[in-house]
Structure formats: C-alpha cells, structure tokens
Amino acid sequence: MDKDIIAWWSGGASSAVACKLAIDLFGANRVRVIFQDTRNEDDDTYRFLKDCEKWYGIKIEIISSKEFNSIEEVWYKYLSLSVAGGAICSTKLKREVREQWEKENTWAHQVFGYDMKEAIKRAVPMTLNNPKLNAIYPLLLYGYFKKDCIKILDNAGIKVPEPYIKGYENNNCDKTGCTRGGIGYWQKRKREEYNKFYKMAMREHELTNLKGEPVTICKDQSNEAKKKGGYVPVFLLPHPDYPEVKDISMFKGREPEPLVECNGFCGLDDMDVYLEKKKRLNNNNEFNF
C-alpha cells in the first residue's frame, strides 16, 4: 500500500510529537513526514531533524521553494513583511510549496500538531475550512499541551531546538526572527540578540524606502490604535523619515507571546475565516457545526 498519511513536521516540539504519535498509531508504512524548509531556520533545527528521524525510524522528507532561494528574496520582491492577514513569506515559502506538493502527490489524510490550547481556535477551523484534508490531530486524541510534548521529547532523550532553550515557545525562522512576532517577541530579540535584531530593523527601513510607506513587522494593537481603525505600523527602530510612526521602545516591556506555528495554513486555520464564509453563504452569523 502507498503511504497515504502526510504528517507535517515544522521544527517545533508539538509537530515533532504529533508525527511520532501518527507513526505509532498508523504505522511507519503509512506515514510520510514532511518538512517545509524556508532555509531560514535556526541551525539547530537540522540537528533536531536528525534526532527525530532516529526516533521515528523513518526519514523526514524536505521540500522547499523552487522560486525563491531565500526569505529575503520574498520580502524584497513583494516589499512586504507582515500584513493584517498574515505574512508573504509564509505564503510563498510554505503555503504555495505545500499546495504544489499536494498536487504532485497522492494522500488521504494530513496530520497537524495542534495541542489542546489550540483545539478550538485552530484545529476546529482548520477542519471546517479545509474538509478535503481529512485532518488528524494526534495531540488532541491524547489531550496533550505543548509542555507535555516537551516532556515527551525529553523522555526520549531529544533536546528541543535552541530557540526553546532561549525562552521562545516556537522554532519559527530563528535565523532572522519571525515576521509574525509581536512587540514582546521583538523586544526580547532586541535585548538578547541585538545583531540579528538590528539587521531586521534595517530591512524594515530599506523596504520602507523602496515602497515609499512604512513596511513593518509589528503593529499597534492598543485600544487607542484600534479605535482609530486600520493597520497602525510600529517600527523596530525609529525611521528618520517617519517620526510620527512609533517604534517598539515606546511600548511598555511585554512578554513575548507564543507564535502561531508557521505551517503554511495562514488564515486557513482561522475561525474568523470560517465564520465570514458561513455568514456569506447563509446570510446570517449564527454558528452551528
């Protein structure tokens, strides 16, 4: 029988355990573990990948964009880092790579590493928005949270990737930092990894100069900004040509918020997207499963 179950391995602790559970549940002869490599991952991700391969007893297949060699190529082509609906890098380096792969391969089910905390917010809308995926959520079957996954890895003798050791809750594009990170995440990077932070701050300025309007990673999510409506950009470092735009030093220190694991399903595992579609179809906003 051809392998008919695809398990997405992202380099994070949750998806790593979800892939292992899928192999244990369905058998290594049915599961293909796939990693969408942005080529912008922390180097330790590749050590973690090798450790997981030994744990699983099967190879992890790596797929990457054929169009873009680096994440910077994407940002500069589209003059964009992060917008309200997601990030262009996730679309180009993950979503489109995944969609192409799905067309070229046969499969019946896809496995995702959403944990209990993400059950309602991510797993339910993922299934409602994408019924053809026949999604399987092994962590929900066992009632696991991310902390359980970290413990399971520890018990298996597998060290979590370096970004977790540095205090982040995800392993998302740590070479540059993730453009979906919020103000707290970037404040931490500024304090602890200034060189990398500075490079991103200068990329914001360059992209802004090329586009002729602020191109930023962070946005102001204060009540005051929400009242004004729309997208209120916030720079990593002040841009001399835009003194009216705030930078992250102007916000009280915040804890870095956990990032959504970047799996190329930006917006497709979003309850708001489902509700909006349902409202359009039914012309009412009553929510029924």
| Residue ranges binding ligand SF4 (CB under 6 A) | 38, 40, 87, 89-90, 93-94, 172-173, 178-180, 262
Residue 6, helix vs strand vs coil: strand
Q: How far apart are CA 233 and CA 214, in angstroms?
A: 7
Our CB check for ligand SF4 shows the closer of 23 and 170 to be 170
Both tokens of residue 266? 């930006």
| Least distance to ligand SF4, CB of residue 267, Å | 12
The span from the CA of 152 to the CA of 120, in Å, is 23
Please identify, using beta-carbon distances, which residue of 123 and 200 lies nearer to ligand SF4.
Answer: 200
Displacement of CA 145 from its chain's centroid (Å): 17
What are φ and ψ of residue 128, in 5° steps? -65, -40
Nearer to ligand SF4, 58 or 160 (CB): 160
Minimum distance of ligand SF4 from residue 236's CB (angstroms): 14
Q: Give 86 or 125: the residue with its C-beta nearer to ligand SF4.
A: 86
CB of 262 to ligand SF4, least distance (A): 3
Nearer to ligand SF4, 71 or 139 (CB): 71
Strand pairing class (60-63; 31-36): parallel
Which of 160-163's residues contact partners 24+ apart within 8 Å by CB, and which partners? 160/13, 160/48, 161/11, 161/12, 161/13, 161/42, 161/44, 161/45, 161/47, 161/48, 162/42, 162/43, 162/44, 163/42, 163/44
Residue 179 phi, psi dihedral angles, 5° rounding: -75, -5
- Closer Cβ to ligand SF4, 23 or 42, answer by number: 42
* Residue 19 C-beta: closest distance to ligand SF4, Å: 18
Q: What distance lies between CA 224 and its chain's CA centroid? A: 28
Minimum distance, C-beta of residue 273 to ligand SF4, in the bound complex (Å): 17
Q: To the nearest whole angstrom, how small is the minimum distance from the Cβ of residue 128 to ligand SF4?
A: 23
Contact call for residues 16 and 52 (beta carbons, < 8 A): yes
Encoded tokens for 232: 């209120």
In the complex, least distance from residue 112 CB atom to ligand SF4, rounded to whole angstroms: 15
Q: Between 4 and 72, name the residue whose CB sits nearer to ligand SF4.
A: 72
The nearer residue to ligand SF4, 221 or 282, going by C-beta atoms, is 221
Q: Interior CA angle at 25 toward 23 and 30, to 5°?
A: 50
Q: How far is the CB of 80 from ligand SF4 (least distance, A)?
A: 11
- What is the distance between the alpha carbons of residues 222 and 262, in angstroms, rounded to a whole number? 25
